[in-house]
Amino acid sequence: MTDATMLEQRQLVVGDVRSPVLVGGPDGADEAVVFVHGNPDAGSDWMPLLTQVATFARVIAPDMPGFGGAERRADQDYTVHGYAAHLGGILDRLGVRRAHLVAHDFGGPWALTWAADHPERVASVTLINTGVLTNYRWHRLARLWRLPILGELVQFAATRRVLRAVLAHDNPGLPSAWLDRITEHALPWGTKRAVLRLYRSTDTATIEALSGPLRELDLPALVVWGAADVYIPAEQARLQSNTFPRARIEMLPGVGHWAWLEQPEKVAQFVVPFLREQVGELDTTR
C-alpha cells in the first residue's frame, strides 16, 4: 500500500476459523499496533483510532470469533484461551514479531492472556475500559448470561429495540449512530451464543492471575477509562498500576464504556501520542 492511511480487509483462517482482519500502514513491518475489540464489537469499530495510527505504524484489527464478520459456529472455542490462541494465529499469519496491544472490554483478557504467554513479543499495552480486573464482580447482564437457561431466555428476548434501549440507558453519551451499530453487532444468534459460552467459561480468578507474569514484564502502558462505565467500575483503572507499574492512567469523567466512540478526539489525544512514542515515526521513504 502506498498510502499509510489506507486500510484493507483480509480474510484469514486460523485453525479452521475464518476472521476478517483490517490491516493498514507499512505492510512488511514486523512490528504492529494490534487493536482487539470486545463484546459485542468488531474490528472496524476501532476506525476513529485506526486511521490516525496507520499514518505512523502498521495496524491490525481483527473481528474475533463469534463477532462481527468472523465465523460463529457452535463448535468453536469461545474460551479466553481460545481467543488468545486465535489472536496469536492472526499475528503469526501476518508476520508480526512485536505487538503494541490496544484493547477494550473482553479484548483485554484475550490480548493480555496472549501477552502473558508470549512475553518476548509484546511491546506495550493500551487499555480502554479493560485490563487485569481485581476482585471484579460481574455486571448485571453478565450475571444473567452466566446462568443456564435464564441466559438463553435473556438472549432470546434481546430484540433490536430492547438491545438499543439497554445500551442507550447504560451509555447515555454514546452517539446514536454507534448505538445502532453496536446493537446490530449483538443481534445475530451466533454472537449471542458466543457471549453465553465466553462468559460461562471465564473464571475471573484466572484473569486476575495474569497480574503476576505481566507485572514482571514492566511494560509501557496507557490506561484510558470512561469513569461512568456501568459494566467495569472506574476503580479498576487505578488497580491497573498493580499489573503495569509504569502505567499512565487517564480518567474521563462522565464518559461510559465505549470511551473512544463517545469522546474520540479526547481519547485520541492520549492514545495517538503514546503509540507514536512507543512505535516511532514511520519511514515514509520505504
Q: Where are the beta strands (DSSP E) in 57-106?
A: 58-62, 98-104
Q: For the segment 61-86, what is each residue's pLDDT rounded down to a tens digit?
A: 999 999 999 999 999 999 999 999 99
Q: For the segment 229-273, what is each residue's pLDDT rounded down to a tens digit?
A: 999 999 999 999 999 999 999 999 999 999 999 999 999 999 999
Q: What is the pLDDT of residue 28?
A: 78
Say whether pLDDT at 98 is over 60. Answer: yes
Q: What is the pLDDT of residue 26?
A: 85
Asked if residues 134 and 70 have their Cβ atoms less than 8 Å apart, the reply is no
| Lowest-pLDDT choice from 2-11, 222-231, 241-250 | 2-11
* Long-range contacts at 136-140 (CB < 8 A, ≥ 24 apart): 136/204, 136/207, 136/208, 136/232, 136/236, 138/199, 138/204, 139/230, 139/231, 139/232
Q: What is the pLDDT of residue 281?
A: 52
pTM value is 0.96
Q: For the segment 12-62, what is each residue's pLDDT rounded down to a tens digit?
A: 999 999 999 999 988 778 999 999 999 999 999 999 999 999 999 999 999
Domains of the chain and CATH, by start: 7-137+203-279 (3.40.50.1820)
Asked if residues 47 and 67 have their Cβ atoms less than 8 Å apart, the reply is no
Q: What is the pLDDT of residue 169?
A: 97
Q: What's the whole-number mean pLDDT along residues 271-277?
A: 97
Q: For the segment 123-180, what is each residue's pLDDT rounded down to a tens digit?
A: 999 999 999 999 999 999 999 999 999 999 999 999 999 999 999 999 999 999 999 9
Say whether pLDDT at 122 is over 90. Answer: yes
Say whether pLDDT at 3 is over 70. Answer: no
Pairing of strands 221-226, 248-252: parallel
Q: What's the whole-number mean pLDDT along residues 96-123?
A: 98
Task: Match 507499512 to its residue by C-alpha cell.
Answer: 26
